[in-house]
Amino acid sequence: MTGAAPAAGAPGHLTEIADGVFAFVQPDGGWCLNNAGLITDGTEAVLVDTAATRARALRLRQEALRITPTPPRLLVNTHFHGDHTFGNCVFPEATVVGHERARDDIVMAGLHLTGLWPDVCWGELDVVPPHLTYRDRMTVYAGSVRAELLHFGPAHTTGDTVVWLPEQRVLFTGDLVMSGVTPFCPMGSVSGSLETLRELRSLGARIVVPGHGPVGGPELFDADEGYLRRLQRLAAQGLAAGSSPLQTAREAGPGPYAGLLDAERLVPNLHRAYAEALGGRPGDPLDIPALFTEMTHYHGRLPTCHA
């Protein structure tokens, strides 16, 4: 008999998904409950992302040291959001690596995320941006295991990184891909997300570790692509009708994607789709605090964060 699903906010743990490749999955995958990963040849290790709170990051460190003899020497951040980067500070031995735009955004954002959910026990955190940055691609090694860091342009944010293990055919996508969770692209691009999904498909991954939600395979690309294409259709319809993104969201609702967590993201996502439909460039800045406020009004309350 199958056991009950882990409760939202349950502690994450590292599970081996391929030889020497581990996923750190934090249920249920909603706001600030991200995934991370560990890559090791048994002697050296590379960490992919951390966690939002000090307690969760320390849990990840404990899990990593259960598997590797020494702490990870490299830590790759897939993008700048605090749920993936705040825990950098509990891995002082690691050189942090990220896209050049991710570094800029980490420095600019600071600990702003903690102010959105003041009731979360964030713990003592220090902002640690990447020490080493790249522009298009970079190769790193966990001992003998090769990992490719790839950037495809604005998508979830303007500084996304995926970690591709060609020999194991494992792909860590960061928040470019979600699993059972609503995509989120107001800081990046709808069209860029679709283009990036095409690039990710071409890699031929067997196992996909999304930024949030359960590990899966390339079928995870399908749901995200369908959601993003619906955003584009709704934006075109809303503009033709003279409706605002908020009005369009209220009229259309989540539709076939009502089962995804955090459906309220429809509002800020539509703002990005509208901006692009009106000729805006992928990644052009939007007023994110204003969009978060509008999303809260649409949702009827502050979105739930179990971190």
Mean pLDDT over 64-91 rounds to 97
What is the per-residue pLDDT across 101-113, written as a single tens digit (0 to 9) for each? 999 999 999 999 9
List, in order, residues 6 or more apart from 112 with CB less than 8 Å away. Answer: 82
- At residue 18 the predicted structure's pLDDT band, cuts being 50, 70 and 90, is very high
Closest CA to 186 of 259, 245, 241, 258: 245
The number of beta carbons lying within 10 Å of the beta carbon of residue 135 is: 9
What's the pLDDT score for residue 127?
Answer: 98
Q: Is the pLDDT of residue 29 over 50?
A: yes
Q: Let me know how long the chain is.
A: 307
Do the beta carbons of residue 237 and residue 274 sit within 8 Å?
no
Rounded to a whole number of angstroms, the distance between the first and last alpha carbons of the chain is 29
Q: Is the pLDDT of residue 16 over 90?
A: yes
Q: Residue 84, Cα to own-chain centre: how many angstroms?
A: 7
What's the pLDDT score for residue 4?
Answer: 63
Do the beta carbons of residue 274 and residue 235 sit within 8 Å?
yes
What's the pLDDT score for residue 292?
Answer: 97
What's the pLDDT score for residue 7?
Answer: 86
The DSSP code sequence of the chain is: -PPPPPPTTPPPEEEEEETTEEEEE-TT--BT---EEEEESSS-EEEE---SSHHHHHHHHHHHHHHSSS--SEEE-SSS-HHHHGGGGG-TTSEEEEEHHHHHHHHHHTTHHHHH-TTS---S------SEEESSEEEEEETTEEEEEE--SSSSSSS--EEEETTTTEEEEEEEEESSB----TTS-HHHHHHHHHHHHHHT-SEEEEEES--B-THHHHHHHHHHHHHHHHHHHHHHHT--HHHHHHHH-SGGGTTSB-GGGHHHHHHHHHHHHTTPPTT----HHHHHHHHHHHHTSPPPB--
This prediction's pTM: 0.97
Residue labelled with tokens 């891995």:
91
What's the pLDDT score for residue 5?
Answer: 67
- At residue 15 the predicted structure's pLDDT band, cuts being 50, 70 and 90, is very high
Decide which of 217 and 1 is more confident. 217
Do the beta carbons of residue 236 and residue 250 sit within 8 Å?
no
Do the beta carbons of residue 164 and residue 201 sit within 8 Å?
no
Q: Is the pLDDT of residue 2 over 50?
A: no
